[in-house]
Amino acid sequence: MSAINPDQIHDVEAEKPLVSMRVADIGVALLFLAASGIVIADSIRLGFEWRENEGPAPGYFPFYVAVVMALASVVNLIRALPASEDGAAPMTSVQGFGRMSAIFVPAVVYVAAIAFIGIYVASALYIATFMLFVGKFALWKAIAVAGGVSIVSFLMFEVWFLVPLPKGPLEAAFGF
């Protein structure tokens, strides 16, 4: 893994471009159109006509909202299509994407892990891993910070404010 140092300013524009603004704009506009399509399809199933003594059918409001969303997205799409100087600017670079993945991919694993080992252990592991591999901290520092954050949140939620969070086998071993 190349050095990812988030504690340093990176000039994304100067790095190897990954996605241009234009492509991203087109992609998001299409995403909006797809969302409009889903909503319109379900609204048609629900009905968007006027019903006697009932008023507008359940699909009425979402149907027109989705139609407006689709129209606005078509405008956005048409605006994004022609190649322009602004559109050619990179939205993110290869390295920038790598740095974002460094926090996001482990976050996905972390959320998946919560169901099995509980939120406190998963949080400690997540913070410690990030500190070790991305922040290049010494092992004891990573353990101290990660453990500290988890223990403080455990006390705060489970003990002081009595808000139960997902717990795993470790907490069960301590009787929680």
Partner 1 sequence: MEELAALAGGFAVAVTPYNIALMVLGIVLGVVIGVLPGLGGANGVAILLPLTFSMEPTSAIIMLTSIYWGALFGGAITAILFNIPGEPWSVATTFDGHPMAQKGKADEALVGAFTSSFVGAIFAVALITFLAPAVAKFALKFGPAEFFAVQFLTFASFIGMGRGSPAKTIASMCLGFALACVGLDGVTGSLRMTFGHEELLNGFKFLVAVIGLFGIGEILTSMEDGLKFSGADAKLKMDAVIRTWRQLPKMTGTFIRSCIVGCWMGITPGGATPASFMGYGLAKRFSKNGKNFGKGELEGVVAPETAAHAAGTAAMLPMLTLGIPGSPTAAVLLGGLLIWGLQPGPLLFVEQKDFVWGLIASMYMGNVVGLVIVLTCVPLFAAILRVPFSIIAPAIVVVCAIGAFTVNNAMFDVWMMLVFGVLGYLFTKLGYPLPPLVLALVLGDQAESSFRQAMLISQGDVTVFWSNWLCGAIMTLGVVMAFWPIVSGVIAKFRGPDRVAKVA
Residues 36 to 95: which contact partner 1 by CB under 8 A?
A: 36, 38-39, 42-43, 46, 50, 54-62, 65-66, 68-69, 72-73, 75-76, 79, 91-92
The answer to whether 117 contacts partner 1 (rule: CB under 8 A) is no
Choose, by CB under 8 A, the member of 17, 137, 158, 168 that binds partner 1: 137
The answer to whether 113 contacts partner 1 (rule: CB under 8 A) is no
Which lies closer to partner 1 via its Cβ, residue 37 or residue 169?
37
Choose, by CB under 8 A, the member of 17, 20, 110, 147 that binds partner 1: 110
Enumerate residues 6+ apart whose C-beta is below 8 A from 112.
Answer: none
d(CA 112, CA 168): 13
| Helix H or strand E segment including 18 | strand 17-20
Work out how close the CB of 40 gets to partner 1 at its nearest, in angstroms, rounded to a whole number: 10
d(CA 98, CA 130): 14
The answer to whether 154 contacts partner 1 (rule: CB under 8 A) is no
What does residue 61 show for φ and ψ, rounded to 5 degrees?
-65, -55
d(CA 121, CA 153): 11
The residue count for binding partner 1 (CB under 8 A) is: 76
The answer to whether 5 contacts partner 1 (rule: CB under 8 A) is yes
Work out how close the CB of 106 gets to partner 1 at its nearest, in angstroms, rounded to a whole number: 8
SS3 content of the chain, % helix, strand, coil (to 5): 70, 5, 25
The answer to whether 100 contacts partner 1 (rule: CB under 8 A) is yes
With b for 16 or more beta-carbon neighbours within 10 A and e for fewer, the 16-53 pattern comes to ebbebbbebbbeebeebbeebeebbeebeeeebeeeee
Which lies closer to partner 1 via its Cβ, residue 161 or residue 174?
161
Which lies closer to partner 1 via its Cβ, residue 112 or residue 172?
112
